[in-house]
Amino acid sequence: METRTKVTFFGTEAAIPEVGGETASFLINDQVMVDTGWNIVDNIRRQGIDPGNIRYLLFTHMHHDHYISLPSLLYYFLIANKDLADLKILGPEEDLQPILHHTLEFLFLNRKFYPARSYPTIIPLKPGDSYDDELFHLKTASSLHPVQALCYKYTDRGTGKSVTFTGDTAYHEPITELARGSSLLIHEATYGAAPANPLKNGGLHSSAMDAAEIAKAAEVEQLALIHGLRRNNEASVQAAAAIYSGPVMWPEKDQTVYL
Ligand SMILES: [Zn+2]
Ligand SMILES: [Zn+2]
């Protein structure tokens, strides 16, 4: 049995990534995918993993940069003769079902082309909900973002390690409770080392300092910053490290972290 929890970062950028880059998305224990980035199938295959073996896809929220390559994963399942019913898709209830319904029924998996195919299992969640699998426990909390968005705490039943990830959010104090004592906190830091500007993007993103305040208050073991411009990474890590005394990183593309 694996004695460590594995987190592989496929990308850490926001909106449109730089050439060769990827938006915030990562894979836990080779089976649980968090958001899709722009290139989910290629990202998973680059790790030597069959995308058809992904069992869970968790959405933090349904802004396009977080689900834009979903159709490519669904198509892979179909063409590789994998059973879509083996794929469970979890996300915020307000947007998950309408968007997946349109994607599956009309826009992509047109019934005319795939009339007899199974569908993924769709599990809508609201902030505060939990979900249990034999391998892990999930707990959710709210984010502060223009659409319904979830933060998740993933607890690995095998190792006892926990990963809390925020998706997109402004500084939001309730995340502290969710993240408390986590082995790793993955927090967005769109504004980098600049103070959060309430006029920019609706003000509903975080700075590296916001992320560090949550990490400090929640007494997590380490902090990873994501969802920002790559050229700001170093300044962001420094700004966070001035507030939070544990290890801080801005993961590289395809970097794996073991807990
Ligand atoms: Zn985003
Ligand atoms: Zn967003």
pLDDT digits (tens, 9 = 90+) for 124-133: 999 999 999 9
Q: Which of 32, 45, 107 is nearest to 76 (CA)?
A: 45
Number of domains the chain is built from = 1
- Residue 225 placed within a domain: yes
231 C-alpha to center of ligand 1: Å? 17
Section 250-256 average pLDDT = 97
* Percentage of residues of the chain with pLDDT beyond 90: 82
Give the mean pLDDT of 204-211.
Answer: 95
| 76 Cα–ligand 2 center, Å | 26
Separation of CA 189 and ligand 2 centre (Å): 12
- Is residue 1 in a domain? no
**How many angstroms separate the alpha carbon of residue 170 from the centre of ligand 1?**
12
Q: Which ligand is nearest to the CA of 35?
A: 1
* 153-169 pLDDT tens trace: 999 999 999 999 999 99
Q: What string of DSSP letters covers 78-141? A: HHTT--GGG-EEEEEHHHHHHHHHHIIIIISS-TTTSTT----EEEEE-TT-EEE-SSEEEEEE
Question: What's the confidence (pLDDT) of residue 237?
Answer: 98
Structural domain of residue 76, as residue ranges? 6-258
Residue 222 lies in a domain: yes
How much is the average pLDDT of 89-117?
A: 79
Q: Kindly report the average pLDDT of the chain as a whole number.
A: 93
User: 205-217: buried (b, 16+ CB within 10 Å) or exposed (e) per residue?
Assistant: bbbbbbbbbbbbe
In Å, what is the CA distance from 1 to each residue of 50, 95, 122? 20, 37, 29
User: The CATH number of the domain where 115 resides is what?
Assistant: 3.60.15.10
Task: Give percent of the chain above pLDDT 70.
Answer: 93
Residue 201 has pLDDT above 80, yes or no: no
Tell me the CA–centroid distance for residue 168 and ligand 2, in Å.
5
Q: In 3-state terms, what secondary structure has residue 143?
A: coil
- Position 38 confidence tier, pLDDT thresholds 50, 70, 90: very high
* Closest-approaching ligand to the CA atom of 146: 2
Please compute the mean of the pLDDT values over residues 217-229 and round it to a whole number.
97
In a domain, 135, yes or no: yes
